[in-house]
Amino acid sequence: MNIESGQGPRNPRMSERTLVIIKPDCIQRHLAGEVIGRLEQKGLKLVGAKFIHVSEEPARQLYAVHRGKPFFEDLVKFISSAPVLVMVWEAEGVIDMVRKMMGATFGCDAEPGTIRGDLGCSKGYNLVHGSDSAETAAREINLFFQPSEIVDYKLTDEDWLYGKND
Ligand code: DAT
Ligand code: MG
C-alpha cells in the first residue's frame, strides 16, 4: 500500500456505493455541510462529488420510476431549479444506512434524529436524495459519474471504523 497516494487493495467491507444528492433546498438553506458532516461522522467514505446544475434530461432519468405520477413534473422542475451536490458514498451496507439517516420522504413525517426529521418540515422539499437499492444505485451513479471520476483511495481509519477482526 502506498501511504502517500492513499492507493491500496480495496477493503471488501467498503464495496457498496450509493448516490446521494444534496438537493437545491439544502444548498440554498446552507445545510450542505451539515448533511455531509453527518455522513462523515457515521464513517462513510466519500468517493465522488460534483457541484452541478442538473439539466432536464438527467432529472427525468433520475426520477424515471415516478414518470406518470401527479408530482413528476414538479419533481423534475425542483431538482433542476438550482445547483445540487451529487456525491458517491461507499461502505458495506451504505445504501440502507443512508436511507435510515435520511428518514421518511418528507420532513413533516420524518423521525427526529434523521436528516429530514431534524432539518426540514416541508411537504414538498426534502433536502436529500439517496438511492434505494443496489440496482438503483448503479443506475443513478452512472447518470452523473464516469467510472474514472470515482476516486479510489484508502481511509487511514478504516480499520478503526469497521474493526479488524470481524
Ligand atoms: P424518497 O426521496 O424518500 O426516496 P420517493 O423515491 O418515493 O422518495 O420519491 C422521490 C421524490 O419524489 C421524493 O424525494 C419527493 C417526491 N415525492 C414523493 N412522493 C410525493 C408525493 N406524494 N407528492 C409530492 N412529491 C412526492
Ligand atoms: Mg426514492
Write out pLDDT tens, residues 17-74: 999 999 999 999 999 999 999 999 999 999 999 999 999 999 999 999 999 999 999 9
**Which atom of ligand 1 has the smallest separation from the CA of 126?**
14
Backbone angles phi, psi at 51, to 5 degrees: -100, 115
Tell whether domain 12-151 is in CATH 3.30.420.10. no
Element (H, E) at 27: helix 24-28
Structural domain boundaries in the chain:
12-151
**Which atom of ligand 1 has the smallest separation from the CA of 102?**
3
Pocket flag, ligand 1, residue 49 (CB < 6 Å): no
pLDDT classification of 164: cutoffs 50, 70, 90: confident
Q: For a substitution probing ligand 1, which of 75, 102, 111, 125 has the most ligand atoms within 8 Å of its CB?
A: 75
Cα-to-centroid distance, 18 and ligand 1 (Å) = 18
Quick check: 15 and 94 in contact, CB under 8 A?
A: no
Encode pLDDT of 90-116 as tens digits.
999 999 999 999 999 999 999 999 999
